[in-house]
């Protein structure tokens, strides 16, 4: 996993690298600018013959922009640089990079800002824009010609590559400081910044690429960060191997307690996802009268009919049979499609007290614990809960969906620490938190997954990995990452707007296949191209 840092932590890393490792700031700037160009061409294609406008501020962010401009010109792009301050006000290192650019391109490629109309005309005549206006040190609201330029960038309808983070975005909180650039791609240096993964940063950063600029590994290791970014390497390392001598019992038996009249789909999706992620066996406990409906939807999973209420939900009298059901399973999931019938709520509360194996609680299981979260302390093994912001708000007193979303990282971390469990707070950039308060942020997934049932799919994937013997933290992180990759594959194949949860389930095997190959390998590229 990759550490996620605050602006102050990144500044300290820069300081140590320059003063202790004796790597000049201009060297770091050169690597940063080179990284911007490399990532730009990887995502947007060769720049030869394209018109690229680089917008530079007076600080070191602008210096990175001058480097990128010089290197783009070497690649035969038509490069113009719009500078938002007088040349005499550039920082020392930015001045050095400005002079290097002018030596190769001449002053005719430099445009000093005069008006919004001038900026608008330059941007409309460009194929690509590079935002090198403002860096991580910004703490006050953007005004004046900087604000006008940001407006013009956003109005241009051109691909925008942000240098380190979108200008106007607070590096720590991800909030907009007056105005902020909406980027297609953000190239972040050294380590990713916290603001890219919360609040407005989620919408404004676009795709985030991380560039190594040569900060010594010992300095990176010394940074104390409670937030990390999930990576393909970490997930690949955690996933269980499929041994040649294995059989279905090798990969565990997942039990899923789910469903009610009208909601058998949730149970079916969770079961299919558990199988697709590799569980050897899956059995779904379901109210008796809807058992036949569920069996018609499932071929590979088994079912276990249970006592029900007149409303065709789980009855309180099912408790003993469900306890025996859980005892016979390697791991269990409780919640998808259960309903909030009062008797079913009582049943879930009683079951929670008796959880003695790896478990994931979702959906109506969480609703049943509203105001009763102390019951979670009775679980013999720390469970995983997977709330969306509305469910999280109901679990945490005096919260709303808005307050949860405004501090997703803090909310998940605090609740996990206070309740001694694992939290998967779903949403854009899902946050996974563990009992010590550390969090991991998932970079995969897309808006096409904002559709009914994708949460049930995630629950099934988590219990499927738990059944295979993965520890709770690793299972929660790996399932969340794979869930996003499967969603990205589905979006690439079908487009986002028409995606349904079944599309995500069908892509899980391909996500697993892709995850076992590093993104830079020819084999991974072959797999990706074959899939999409």
Q: Does 525 have pLDDT greater than 70? A: no
pLDDT at residue 114, as a whole number: 95
Averaged pLDDT, 510-531: 68
Tokens 């995502």, residue located: 43
Are 205 and 343 part of one and the same domain?
A: no
Structure tokens at 132: 């090198």
Contact between 386 and 455 (Cβ < 8 Å) = yes
CA distances from 136 to 207, 208, 216 (A): 18, 15, 20
pLDDT band at 308 (very low <50, low <70, confident <90, very high): very high
pLDDT in tens, 63-87: 999 999 999 999 999 999 999 999 9
Q: Does 523 have pLDDT greater than 80? A: no
Q: Mean pLDDT over all residues of the chain?
A: 95
Are 463 and 525 part of one and the same domain?
A: yes
**Residue 435 φ then ψ, to 5°:** -60, -25
Are 254 and 156 part of one and the same domain?
A: no
Which helix (H) or strand (E) segment is 42 a member of? helix 25-44
Averaged pLDDT, 305-332: 98
Of 210, 225, 240, the domain-final residue: 225
What is the percent of the chain with per-residue pLDDT over 70, rounded to a whole number? 97
What is the total count of domains within the chain?
2
Contact between 6 and 193 (Cβ < 8 Å) = yes
Structure tokens at 517: 């190959």
Residue 10 lies in a domain: no
pLDDT in tens, 342-352: 999 999 999 99
Residue 472 lies in a domain: yes
Of 164, 194, 225, the domain-final residue: 225
pLDDT in tens, 149-206: 999 999 999 999 999 999 999 999 999 999 999 999 999 999 999 999 999 999 999 9
526 HSE (CA, 13 A, CB side): 5
Tokens 């790996």, residue located: 478
Task: Give the SS3 label for residue 449.
Answer: helix
Instruction: Report the alpha-carbon distance of residue 188 to residue 367 in Å, rounded.
Output: 39
CA angle, 299 as apex, 314 and 297 as ends, to 5°? 55
Which helix (H) or strand (E) segment is 305 a member of? strand 302-306
Are 256 and 149 part of one and the same domain?
A: no
CA distances from 473 to 36, 166, 310, 430, 440 (A): 34, 32, 39, 14, 10
Torsion sign over Cα 126, 80, 146, 184: positive
Residue 362 lies in a domain: yes
Instruction: Report the alpha-carbon distance of residue 43 to residue 185 in Å, rounded.
Output: 8
Please give the residue range of the domain that contains residue 409: 248-531
CA angle, 295 as apex, 291 and 301 as ends, to 5°? 115
Q: Does 118 have pLDDT greater than 60? A: yes
Are 292 and 355 part of one and the same domain?
A: yes
69-79 burial by CB neighbour count: b if 16+ within 10 A, else e?
bbbbbebebbb
Residue 237 lies in a domain: no
pLDDT in tens, 41-52: 999 999 999 999
Residue 256 lies in a domain: yes
Residue 238 lies in a domain: no
Q: Residue 141: CB partners within 8 Å, gap ≥ 6?
A: 177, 178
Structure tokens at 151: 């407006």
Are 441 and 491 part of one and the same domain?
A: yes
Q: Does 518 have pLDDT greater than 70? A: no
Of 225, 256, 271, the domain-final residue: 225
pLDDT in tens, 208-231: 999 999 999 999 999 999 999 999
pLDDT at residue 398, as a whole number: 84
pLDDT band at 530 (very low <50, low <70, confident <90, very high): low
pLDDT band at 519 (very low <50, low <70, confident <90, very high): low
Averaged pLDDT, 470-476: 98
CA distances from 16 to 11, 62, 222, 430, 432 (A): 9, 21, 11, 32, 31
Name the pTM for this structure: 0.93
Are 211 and 256 part of one and the same domain?
A: no
Q: Does 526 have pLDDT greater than 60? A: no
Burial class from Cβ neighbours inside 10 Å (0-12, 13-18, 19+) for residue 436 reads exposed
Are 185 and 330 part of one and the same domain?
A: no
Q: Of 132, 110, 123, 130, which Cα lies nearest the Cα of 57? A: 132
463 HSE (CA, 13 A, CB side): 39
Are 315 and 264 part of one and the same domain?
A: yes
What is the percent of the chain with per-residue pLDDT over 90, rounded to a whole number? 95
pLDDT at residue 532, as a whole number: 54
Residue 12 lies in a domain: no
CATH of the domain at 379: 3.40.1190.20
Are 252 and 215 part of one and the same domain?
A: no
pLDDT band at 524 (very low <50, low <70, confident <90, very high): low
pLDDT in tens, 405-419: 999 999 999 999 999
Averaged pLDDT, 101-124: 95
Tokens 């998932």, residue located: 442
pLDDT at residue 517, as a whole number: 77
CATH of the domain at 62: 3.40.50.10260
Are 146 and 260 part of one and the same domain?
A: no
Averaged pLDDT, 118-131: 97
Cross-strand bridge partners of residue 253: 281
Are 324 and 374 part of one and the same domain?
A: yes
Gap between the terminal Cα atoms of the chain = 27
Contact between 138 and 177 (Cβ < 8 Å) = yes
Task: Give the SS3 label for residue 131.
Answer: strand
pLDDT at residue 516, as a whole number: 86
Residue 233 lies in a domain: no
């Amino acid at each position: 996993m990759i550490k996620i840092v605050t602006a102050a932590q990144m500044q300290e890393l820069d300081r140590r690298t320059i003063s202790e490792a004796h790597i000049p700031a201009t060297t770091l700037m050169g690597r940063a600018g080179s990284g911007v160009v490399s990532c730009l061409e990887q995502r947007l294609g060769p720049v030869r013959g394209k018109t690229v406008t680089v917008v530079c501020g007076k600080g070191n962010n602008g210096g990175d922009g001058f480097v990128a401009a010089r290197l783009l010109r070497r690649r035969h792009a038509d490069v113009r640089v719009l500078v938002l301050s007088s040349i005499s006000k550039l920082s020392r290192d930015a001045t050095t990079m400005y002079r290097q650019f002018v030596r190769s391109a001449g002053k005719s490629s430099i445009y000093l800002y005069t008006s919004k109309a001038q900026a608008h005309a330059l941007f409309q005549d460009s194929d690509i824009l590079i935002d090198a206006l403002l860096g991580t040190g910004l703490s006050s609201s953007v005004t004046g010609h900087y604000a006008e330029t940001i407006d013009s960038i956003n109005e241009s309808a051109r691909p925008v590559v942000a240098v380190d983070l979108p200008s106007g975005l607070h590096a720590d909180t991800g909030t907009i400081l007056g105005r902020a650039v909406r980027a297609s791609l953000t190239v972040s240096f050294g380590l990713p910044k916290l603001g890219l993964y919360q609040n407005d940063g989620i919408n404004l950063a676009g795709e985030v690429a991380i560039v190594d600029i040569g900060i010594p590994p010992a300095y990176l290791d010394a940074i104390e960060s409670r937030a990390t970014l999930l990576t393909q390497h970490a997930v690949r390392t955690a996933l269980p191997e499929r041994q040649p001598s294995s059989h279905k019992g090798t990969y565990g038996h997942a039990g899923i307690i789910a469903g009610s009249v009208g909601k058998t789909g949730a149970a079916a999706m969770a079961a299919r996802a558990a199988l697709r992620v590799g569980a050897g066996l899956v059995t779904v406990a379901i109210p008796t009268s809807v058992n036949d409906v569920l069996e018609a939807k499932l071929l590979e999973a088994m079912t276990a009919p249970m006592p029900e209420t007149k409303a065709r939900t789980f009855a309180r009298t099912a408790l003993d049979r469900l306890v025996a059901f859980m005892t016979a399973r390697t791991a269990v999931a409780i919640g998808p499609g259960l309903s909030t019938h009062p008797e079913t709520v009582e049943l879930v509360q009683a079951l929670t007290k008796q959880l003695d194996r790896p478990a994931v609680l979702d959906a109506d299981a969480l609703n049943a614990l509203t105001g009763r979260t102390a019951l979670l302390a009775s679980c013999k093994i720390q469970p995983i809960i997977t709330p969306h912001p509305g469910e999280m708000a109901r679990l945490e007193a005096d919260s709303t969906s808005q307050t949860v979303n405004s501090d997703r990282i803090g909310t998940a971390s605090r609740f996990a620490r206070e309740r001694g469990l694992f939290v998967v707070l779903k949403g854009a950039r899902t946050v996974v938190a563990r009992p010590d308060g550390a969090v991991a942020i998932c970079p995969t997934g897309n808006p096409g997954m904002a559709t009914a049932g994708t949460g049930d799919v995630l629950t099934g994937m988590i219990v499927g990995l738990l059944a295979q013997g993965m520890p709770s933290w690793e299972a929660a992180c790996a399932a969340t990452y794979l869930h996003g990759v499967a969603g990205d594959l589905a979006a690439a194949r079908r487009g986002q707007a028409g995606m349904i949860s079944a599309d995500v389930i069908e892509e899980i095997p391909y996500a697993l296949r892709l995850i076992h190959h590093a993104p830079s390998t020819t084999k991974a590229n072959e797999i990706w191209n074959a899939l999409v």
